[in-house]
Amino acid sequence: MIPGDKGKPGRAASSNPVNWRQTVERAEKREFVTELNEVFKASGSVVVAHYAGVTVAQMNDFRSKMRAAGGTVKVAKNRLAKIALQGTESEGMTDLFKGQTLIAYSADPITAPKVVVDFAKTNDKLVVLGGAMGTTTLNPEAVKSLATLPSLDELRAKLLGLLNAPATRVATVVAAPASQLARVFSAYAKKDEAA
């Protein structure tokens, strides 16, 4: 009996909490679909994998590695993920959502595939199913190929190194005649002092 119900057990207790729970669940599902839809639209790449048999400790380790690299891991509810994919460029990977799936995503197109493939090497329970990079649907081999590429930060560092190398050489060449002149003047000055 609920306080204030005045002797009518069951009426408020049976109908109200159930409707409230369904309303909350629907709102959570709507929020999840909206959030996932934004992920599919904004991410540089998304990787879908099976995780059956991965322990909680292993999953926490995987999530922390992904977070440290700049990505995110979410366990995907397949039906909701398929709804979230509608109207996005990644819609071609809808068929990957079967069984216990998770998604890994990042703004950098290389980060998520790299972390997932590295983790899958040490944990055979994590099986890469495929993914998407923009409008391109990726099979497991394509995800593994992406994982071998350097990340955007690594590419930026290499590019910066390539740009700095010629500038350093130019500065050395420009400074060389001045240093040679300084040596000649110094030699004449020493010669005059000795004489």
pLDDT per residue rounded down to tens, the chain (195 residues): 444 445 444 444 445 666 766 776 888 888 888 898 898 888 899 999 999 999 999 999 999 999 999 999 999 889 999 999 988 888 889 999 999 999 999 998 999 999 999 999 999 999 999 999 988 899 999 999 888 887 777 777 777 776 766 666 666 666 666 666 667 667 777 777 776
Q: pLDDT value at position 15? A: 52
3-class secondary-structure state, position 3: coil
**Strand boundaries in the chain, DSSP class E:** 45-50, 71-76, 101-106, 127-133, 136-138
Q: pLDDT value at position 13? A: 45
Q: pLDDT value at position 161? A: 72
Give how far Cα 88 sits from Cα of 77, 137, 149, Å.
Answer: 17, 12, 25
Spans of all domains in the chain: 40-149, 151-195
3-class secondary-structure state, position 50: strand
Which residues lie closer than 8 Å to 8 by C-beta, 6 or more apart?
none
Which CATH superfamily does the domain covering 40-149 fall into?
Answer: Ribosomal protein L10, N-terminal RNA-binding domain (3.30.70.1730)
**Strand boundaries in 7-148, DSSP class E:** 45-50, 71-76, 101-106, 127-133, 136-138
Q: pLDDT value at position 144? A: 92
Residue 51 near residue 102, CB atoms below 8 Å: yes
Q: pLDDT value at position 10? A: 47
Q: pLDDT value at position 1? A: 43
Q: pLDDT value at position 14? A: 47
Q: pLDDT value at position 65? A: 95
Angle at 34 between CA 32 and CA 36, to 5 degrees: 65
Q: pLDDT value at position 69? A: 92
| Token pair 């922390």: residue | 64
Q: pLDDT value at position 26? A: 84
